[in-house]
Chains A and B, each alone.
Chain A
Amino acid sequence: KNEVEQSPQNLTAQEGEFITINCSYSVGISALHWLQQHPGGGIVSLFMLSSGKKKHGRLIATINIQEKHSSLHITASHPRDSAVYICAVTSGGGADGLTFGKGTHLIIQP
């Protein structure tokens, strides 16, 4: 069973700061997912990646398969980025259930 660890657990930053959230996993994977859970509880998929780097707006996700590590970066952070960010992995060609990290609770203060 894959163990997924995230750090930090909690992060408070000022608006405009560059944010980095880290994720490591114990066993080889087929894909890594970054999810965002809003204060209201809804879950949105941000990225699914198996190598390299992806960018969407102010969000950047990278993965290093050899080191079993991924990072999620937020540039020019804004209070609306406040949410829980969850790292999750799949092992079966991407078509199986997710194994989740505990999440990082991010608060961006104005």
Chain B
Amino acid sequence: DAGVIQSPRHEVTEMGQEVTLRCKPISGHDYLFWYRQTMMRGLELLIYFNNNVPIDDSGMPEDRFSAKMPNASFSTLKIQPSEPRDSAVYFCASSLTGNIQYFGAGTRLSVL
């Protein structure tokens, strides 16, 4: 398997624009996680899915953030409208129930 695949790897956008981050989990994994990493706050959980259903979205910072998982092979994290304070590295990870999480390479987002 190619591992967890995230796209794009880098995204530069202007404040107010919509940003969509994409993630393809490892085939067969039933959990998918979205994390954000900043210098100030470190790594934080945003939301996670089990069998495509959102289980805990308490880490989503604001209504500007939304995440979907329309099928077992694909998830998106959308920010609309984006703000400079959303600049961070966004990681997607997947796992099989109760096992270690495999991380994607991350998307580095810069909002100008």
Contacts and interface: CB of A to CB of B under 8 A. Distances in A.
Interface string A43-74: 11100100000000000000000000000000
B61 to A, nearest CB: 15
Chain B's interface: helix, strand, loop or mixed, by majority? strand
A41 interface: yes
Interface residues on B, range: 20 to 34
Contacts, number: 53
A43 B91 contact: yes
B45 A95 contact: no
Contact of B98 (A44, A93, A97): A93
A94 B99 contact: yes
Interface stretch (B16-24, B64-72, B73-81, B101-109): B101-109
Interface string A86-102: 10100001111111111
Nearest to B33: A97
B14 interface: no
A86 B43 contact: yes
A45 B33 CA distance: 14
B106 A33 contact: no
Contacts of B45: 97-99
Given A41-B105, A41-B106, A96 B100 contact: no
B100 A43 contact: no
27 contacts: A33-B100, A41-B89, A41-B105, A41-B106, A41-B108, A42-B106, A43-B103, A43-B106, A45-B102, A45-B103, A48-B99, A48-B100, A86-B43, A88-B43, A93-B98, A95-B31, A95-B95, A95-B97, A96-B55, A96-B56, A97-B33, A97-B45, A97-B48, A97-B59, A100-B42, A101-B42, A103-B42
Interface of A: 31, 33, 41-45, 48, 86, 88, 93-103
